[in-house]
Homo-oligomer: A and B are copies of this chain.
Amino acid sequence: MIDFPHIADICQPTASKVIMLVADGLGGAPHPETGKSELEVAKTPNLDKLASRSACGLTTPVLPGITPGSGPGHLSLFGYDPVKYIIGRGVLEALGIDIELSDGDVAARGNFCTVDSEGKLVDRRAGRISSLESIPLCEQLNQIDVPGIDMSIFPVQDYRFVALFRGQGLTESVTETDPQILGVPPRHVEALNPAAEKTAAAANALIERAMEMLGKREKANMVMLRGFSQLPKLPSFGESYRLNPAAIAAYPMYRGLAKVAGMKVIPTGHNFQAEVDTLRQNFQEHDFFYLHYKPADAAGEDGDFDAKVQALEALDKFIPSILDLNPDTLVVAGDHATPSILAGHGWQPVPLLIHSKLTLGEGVEAFHERACANGSIGRIPATQIMFLALAHAGKLIKFGP
């Protein structure tokens, strides 16, 4: 999958079980006043104790200085080269609202905007109209019939929606319509190659009909489409590592990312407690579990240092019940850092912990950035976590005689 072409030759299916707990936005950065990161401030006795009995290190999601979106962040954790395998913006938006995408579907990220009487942009986000206002507009757009294509509109939030094009011979190779500046009309969709004419025509038909429908309105009287994309063709995670993998995630986007990798998605509830219950109930059915914890990222995105500390402390309380399942290997990793001082994703390295019966004498004194920097794993690309996870679970044989 990544930089080791022989992986399939050395993977062996075994009864051992691996849990990969992904704490979204796990890594942080020191607070300017205290010099301590969120993980250093958080009281996480269970994670600290676990770290003391684990192999620890720091991971780089893409490259130093490169801040990954959720797509590349997760693909790295699953072992896919995030530079090679790209998940488009439209597809990611569709996965985020639980749209079932099929091969060949083209998804675009759409948004309402406002144009003047000459059709020139005056507000690229239509005054950020609320979902209350946009949902009926999406329903209207959904009535549009594009000949030869099955076209659907799905509201996302506020002024944003997803336009899904389904049919034969569609492609993502078309241009976007947002000119990124005001005072000019939105662009037409253009085909980047002859095979993309059909897709461009379908998208332009949607835009023209939308203009007719919405044109009388004062604001939100036009739409723009960006990020046309199709599901990337990823090697199957399960086949590549000879695993029977399952994903448990309360948020749709992460279920979607797991589905793109070919994992089975187990239905679960709306919070981490529900996820852990689902894990327990299904623990016998699979040999690999991707378990997603969202709140640390959400708090970091809000720039709320204390809330992120609390989210990490809340995660810590679940560690004993996960350990109670007695997995052969427990990985605690993050898809990227979300330092509160950035109020967004960051490029900083992300703490990593791998616990197995082989790591009992290997640990560091706590689970945070500074301690993990001295761990036995050192700093590795996140794409290599899976090799270590499989090795610790006894699922890799020797490479080469």
Q: Report which A residues bind B (CB closer than 8 A).
A: 3-6, 10, 29-37, 58, 62-72, 82-83, 86-89, 92-93, 227, 339, 341-342, 344-345, 347-349, 357-358, 360-362, 369-370, 373-374, 376-380, 384, 386-391, 396-401
A63 to B5, CA, bound (A): 12
* CB proximity of A132 to chain B, nearest CB, Å: 26
When distances are taken between beta carbons in the complex, the residues of chain B under 8 Å from A349 are 376, 378
Q: Return chain B residues, CB-CB under 8 Å to A31.
A: 361
- Write out the residue numbers on chain B whose beta carbons fall within 8 Å of the beta carbon of A62: 4, 399
Given known contacts A30-B360, A362-B29, A399-B72, is B387 in contact with A10 (CB within 8 Å)?
no
Query: With contacts A3-B63, A347-B388 known, is A399 near B362, CB below 8 A?
Result: no
| Contact call B34/A71, Cβ cutoff below 8 A | no
Given contacts A63-B384, A66-B387, A87-B400, 19 further A-B contacts (CB under 8 A): A3-B63, A4-B66, A5-B83, A29-B361, A58-B378, A63-B387, A64-B384, A65-B386, A65-B396, A66-B391, A69-B399, A71-B400, A72-B400, A88-B401, A89-B401, A341-B358, A373-B376, A373-B378, A378-B379
Determine chain A's interface SS by DSSP, over half rule.
Answer: loop
**B388, A67: Cβ atoms under 8 Å?**
no
**Complex partner residue of A32 from B88, B360, B400, CB under 8 angstroms:** B360
Closest CB in chain B relative to A70 CB, distance in Å:
7
A4 to B349, CA, bound (A): 17
Residue pairs across A and B with Cβ atoms less than 8 A apart, 18 shown, are A10-B66, A30-B362, A34-B361, A63-B384, A63-B387, A64-B377, A64-B384, A65-B390, A65-B391, A66-B387, A67-B398, A86-B400, A87-B400, A88-B401, A92-B401, A347-B387, A349-B378, A369-B376
Q: Are A361 and B399 in contact (CB under 8 A)?
A: no
* A384 and chain B: residue at smallest CB distance: B64
| CB-CB under 8 A for A391 and B69, given A30-B361, A379-B379 | no
Q: Whose C-beta in chain B lies nearest to the C-beta of A30?
A: B361
- For the complex, what is the distance from the CA of A71 to the CA of B401, rounded to whole Å? 6
Residues of chain B with a CB closer than 8 A to A379's CB: 378-379
Contacts known (A29-B362, A83-B5); A64 close to B380, Cβ less than 8 A: yes
Give A37's nearest chain B residue, CB to CB.
Answer: B361
- A10 CA / B63 CA spacing, docked (Å): 13
Complex: A61 Cα to B227 Cα, angstroms: 38
Please tell me if the beta carbons of A401 and B67 are within 8 angstroms of each other in the complex. Answer: no
What's the nearest-Cβ distance from chain B to residue A269, in Å? 26
Q: Kindly list the 5 A-B residue pairs having the minimum CB-CB distance in the complex, ordered from nearest.
A: A65-B387, A30-B361, A35-B361, A32-B360, A72-B400
A327 to chain B, nearest CB (A): 17
Cβ contacts under 8 Å, A345 to chain B: 398
